[in-house]
Amino acid sequence: MDSSLLLGLTTFAYLGASFLYVAYCIFHSDKIGKTATALTVAALVLQTAGFGLRWRESYQMGFGHAPLTNMYESVVFFSWAIGFFYLLIIWKYRARMLGAFATPLAFLAMAYASFAPGVTRDIAPLIPALQSNWLIAHVVTCFMGYAGFAVAAALGVMYLLKERALANNQPSRLPDKEILDDLLHKTMIFGFIWLSIGIITGAIWADAAWGTYWSWDPKETWSLITWFFYAITLHARYTRGLSGRRTAWLSIIGLVCVLFTYYGVNFLLSGLHSYGTI
């Protein structure tokens, strides 16, 4: 058994969990909800095993590096981080309905990694810029932040749907708006902290690799733009009481910034991070 098989099974496990969570939202059956959660846990276990096996395979091929170096591997880890963070939330807050909005994101990431044309799935030796002990620290912290922002956007969608249902006097089993708003705020803080650490570790790595902490590379610039976007949003909540619908929309817009920083910059703007397209 190789890593590709396990990661392929992960894709379909997240898809199955997504359908089950939607069914849970519709029928409000605890049995369906628990099955969906169990399948999500199984998907995360498969994904972790596949990730670890790919790491081992790189050593067997003589390369010996963490599988975090190209578009395929980073998208797989992004999916893993979303699944992990979602399970952490339902363990702490019992917000199982979030699964209908979070697990589809994990599935879409895996589907892109598995089926998108042009995404290299081969294990290759590291280019010189990536041969650093800072690789794992930088990539892991950035993508944990991205996962937090992805889940925050999912909560933003839930908030808007709940608000619409209440405005139209329609029944809704989604959590109360106050609960969603509070959870949205906490997940945004989680993402912001991890992104901040990611930018710091990236700056240290850049100094070691290129002799400067900051070079205004397109990805560095957009990472800073994304950081300021969330910093201003969180600051407005503390100083101006920003909440509710506005925060929900900002969480969705923020995810667009994250995706452009991660994906769009690699393909539309050339720079020192152009290796992320392979």
Q: Which residue has the higher pLDDT, 2 or 238?
A: 238
Mean pLDDT across the chain: 91
Whether 275 has a pLDDT exceeding 80, the answer reads no
The answer on pLDDT for 15 being more than 90 is yes
Q: What is the pLDDT of residues 181-200, one digit of tens each?
A: 999 999 999 999 999 999 99
Q: Which of 121, 156, 183 is the last residue of a domain?
A: 121
- Please indicate, yes or no, whether residues 151 and 275 belong to a single structural domain of this protein: yes
Which domain-ending residue is among 93, 121, 149? 121
| Residues 6+ positions from 159 with CB-CB distance below 8 Å | 177, 180, 181, 184, 244, 245, 247, 248
Same domain, 97 and 191: no
Q: Kindly state the average pLDDT of the residues 83-110.
A: 95
Q: What is the pLDDT of residue 119?
A: 82
Of residues 262 and 148, more confidently modeled: 148
Convert the pLDDT of each residue in 46-88 to its tens digit. Answer: 999 999 999 999 999 888 888 998 889 999 999 999 999 999 9
Residue 48 shares a structural domain with residue 88: yes
Provide the pLDDT confidence category of residue 271 given band limits of 50, 70 and 90: low
Say if residue 54 is in the same domain as residue 164.
Answer: no
Region 163-179 average pLDDT: 93
Predicted pLDDT of residue 100: 97
3-state SS record for the chain? CCHHHHHHHHHHHHHHHHHHHHHHHHHCCHHHHHHHHHHHHHHHHHHHHHHHHHHHHHHHCCCCCCCCCCHHHHHHHHHHHHHHHHHHHHHHHCCHHHHHHHHHHHHHHHHHHHHCCCCCCCCCCCCHHHCCCHHHHHHHHHHHHHHHHHHHHHHHHHHHHHHHHHHCCCCCCCCCHHHHHHHHHHHHHHHHHHHHHHHHHHHHHHHHHHCCCCCCCHHHHHHHHHHHHHHHHHHHHHHHCCCCHHHHHHHHHHHHHHHHHHHHHHHHCCCCCHHHHC
Which of 121, 145, 180 delimits the end of a domain?
121
Residues 50 and 148 in one domain: no
Count the domains in the chain. Answer: 2
Could you list the residue range(s) of the whole structural domain that residue 112 is in?
1-121
pLDDT in tens, 20-48: 999 999 998 999 999 999 999 999 999 99
